[in-house]
Structure 1
């Protein structure tokens, strides 16, 4: 029996041809393809400026820098997120302060943020967890009221919507991931988007060692201009090889979202009414791209999360434990800004799992996953 993976990127001959074209051009580092990808992504996401980076983590790092967040500041983040969300503030000398999340979406809320505000709070990093759009308007109102920077960690959210618009539009600055686990992939890579022209310009310089003349300008000139370095910068660049992939992938994004939403609906229908199983679903204010389809396993289900993972594995199905709780990781023991209990975060991280969901998953394969999940429930019902 073939193994069913939890995720597969949707790549094909168009991506191969695009990368081959870049190789043939001789310009494989950051250059014209990267600029074209930035322009196309900004247009798709309805934002003014997009700055390509080496990863979403480096985009978050730059977002904090251009927003003026630094040593001595507190940044409120969800613990229910990949550890990179909390790591980014530490890179700039700030302290991550962990907030609890909404049980239905796995995202932080304005009320949760209010409960952990400190006198040193300078910014909020809000995550669209697993592609589930966060409720941005209340967070926007809170940040405007308290003069805080609102950063959206939209790593998983390309193709998700909030109030009819693309995710990420309402934040001061957003960061995106193109890791292979995401819908749109460049292998590795990320993007910073913002409506602030000066922030975008500074991010472009910082990602390239803070040079005042870009590499593209230098390499396209016969007599290269003299560059200057006004501050300490970084090497956070994307290559044209990656950008060529991204341009093709961006053209496929809408089809990916449509397919994933159809598959998510099949899961939701299959598990509806099963005691002890709760599927992630769209909130009333937006739509998810279902980058991750997670399932919460409650005490009414015959086996716990670990038992269900073992059942799936025995049937040749690769699932994953749900999102981590960063405040429970050794890296943040004793020196994080955890100021309150995080019961929802700890419940979700202990009881959720991520089921296979990707563009090429067919109905027969998905039926195998559904049957495996329901096997324990059917066995228990038969034994009563």
Structure 2
């Protein structure tokens, strides 16, 4: 494809940082991971960061931290990457799918309330595509209901809500450093919390349940006989990944600013294309535009899949919009219990993600929007 949907911003600085980690001899979880945890937590307004192997494993640990298990229900958006729902099943609980807001693609107090039951123990709310959900409203509602709120911030590094970074004030938030995210370590993730005891347990859970980390054992001048306090996991990040992540974190502000400029230009170009609604900021916050997605409304005369094919024929790599987990074979067993999700099904059918990255040019945008304009009339 001449115009890819996403290119990670990686350069010589990341290569040198990774090489320095290799030369140091410390390539597993070590001092660079600890530094990355501190700096990332500070960037998103949290007190503690716990680096993990992916956002998915971070969500799993969040479920364990909240003591979610069999017999419990956890409300999640179906309109999300399937990992959001999968994390609930990892602990034997039942995901309950809530619909989303048409403009933001996020769950709201109203959509969550519509499916809440006496068995609801937690909510996983997603800042979808970097668009923040209404954190003030949903946190207040979760507290009032007496349920845990986990923020799936996989795409949201650099987004803000109510003037604060997404993640500030969250009970627990999980983050992704996959290559399609603004900050990437190849694979990898982070869990952020404010409670120091929660941070201690998360660090233990990611490292087999040991009461002392491998880094602390190696740093000790005396033999350390560790104990394993609970059944846990190997969800660690390496120092090589963290070295790359530290460089990436330094790029974040510039990347967000550039992506917001490109998103604004897309919206200006698309303003006169009939039947296209572009993602935009909600009133209470600003997105990082990890993804720039558009919705094709009924007056747009070409189907979404045909649009994707037409773009591909001209060298443009676009993607279908966010998936609907409840329509996937993995969740077919829940079909009899899933209520109506009309907005989710509309968005997953009629939306697509356009290219947006640091190497995207104005000429690229002109070509993409030109193709959409041609297709608008069918």
Shorter-chain TM range is over 0.9
- In 1, are the aligned partners of 2:169 and 2:194 still within 8 Å (CA)? no
| Alignment-derived partner of residue 361 in structure 2 | 362
* Whole-angstrom distance in 2 between the partners of 1:170 and 1:298: 36
TM, length-normalised to structure 2: 0.98
- In 2, are the aligned partners of 1:277 and 1:298 still within 8 Å (CA)? yes
| CA RMSD of superposed structures (Å) | 1.2
* Whole-angstrom distance in 2 between the partners of 1:152 and 1:368: 36
Superposition map of 1:110-125 within 5 A: 110-125=109-124
| Alignment-derived partner of residue 212 in structure 1 | 211
| Alignment-derived partner of residue 225 in structure 2 | 226
1:187 to 1:368, Cα distance in 2 relative to 1, 3 A: same
* Whole-angstrom distance in 2 between the partners of 1:288 and 1:338: 33
Superposition map of 1:1-384 within 5 A: 3-335=2-334, 338-377=337-376
Deviation at 1:222, TM superposition (A): 4.6
* Whole-angstrom distance in 1 between the partners of 2:319 and 2:143: 38
Deviation at 1:170, TM superposition (A): 3.1
3-state SS in 1 of match to 2:366: helix
- In 2, are the aligned partners of 1:97 and 1:336 still within 8 Å (CA)? no
1:184 to 1:195, Cα distance in 2 relative to 1, 3 A: same
1:335 to 1:302, Cα distance in 2 relative to 1, 3 A: closer
Which string of whole-angstrom CA distances, capped at 9 and with x for unpartnered residues, describes residues 131-161 of structure 1? 0000111111111111110100000000000
Deviation at 1:220, TM superposition (A): 2.2
TM, length-normalised to structure 1: 0.96
- In 2, are the aligned partners of 1:107 and 1:126 still within 8 Å (CA)? yes
- In 1, are the aligned partners of 2:318 and 2:355 still within 8 Å (CA)? yes
Equivalences, count? 378
Which string of whole-angstrom CA distances, capped at 9 and with x for unpartnered residues, describes residues 260-306 of structure 1? 00000011001113221110010110000000000111221121111
Segments ≥4 residues shifted beyond 6 Å: none
* Whole-angstrom distance in 2 between the partners of 1:273 and 1:152: 36
1:336 to 1:60, Cα distance in 2 relative to 1, 3 A: farther
5+ unaligned residues in a row in structure 2: which ranges? Answer: none
3-state SS in 2 of match to 1:294: strand
3-state SS in 1 of match to 2:333: coil
* Whole-angstrom distance in 2 between the partners of 1:354 and 1:69: 34
Deviation at 1:221, TM superposition (A): 3.0
- In 2, are the aligned partners of 1:77 and 1:97 still within 8 Å (CA)? yes
Which string of whole-angstrom CA distances, capped at 9 and with x for unpartnered residues, describes residues 336-364 of structure 1? 69442000000000000000001121212
Which string of whole-angstrom CA distances, capped at 9 and with x for unpartnered residues, describes residues 81-116 of structure 1? 000000001101111000000000000000000000
3-state SS in 1 of match to 2:317: coil
Deviation at 1:63, TM superposition (A): 0.8
* Whole-angstrom distance in 2 between the partners of 1:338 and 1:309: 32
* Whole-angstrom distance in 1 between the partners of 2:296 and 2:311: 14
3-state SS in 2 of match to 1:152: strand
- In 2, are the aligned partners of 1:105 and 1:132 still within 8 Å (CA)? yes
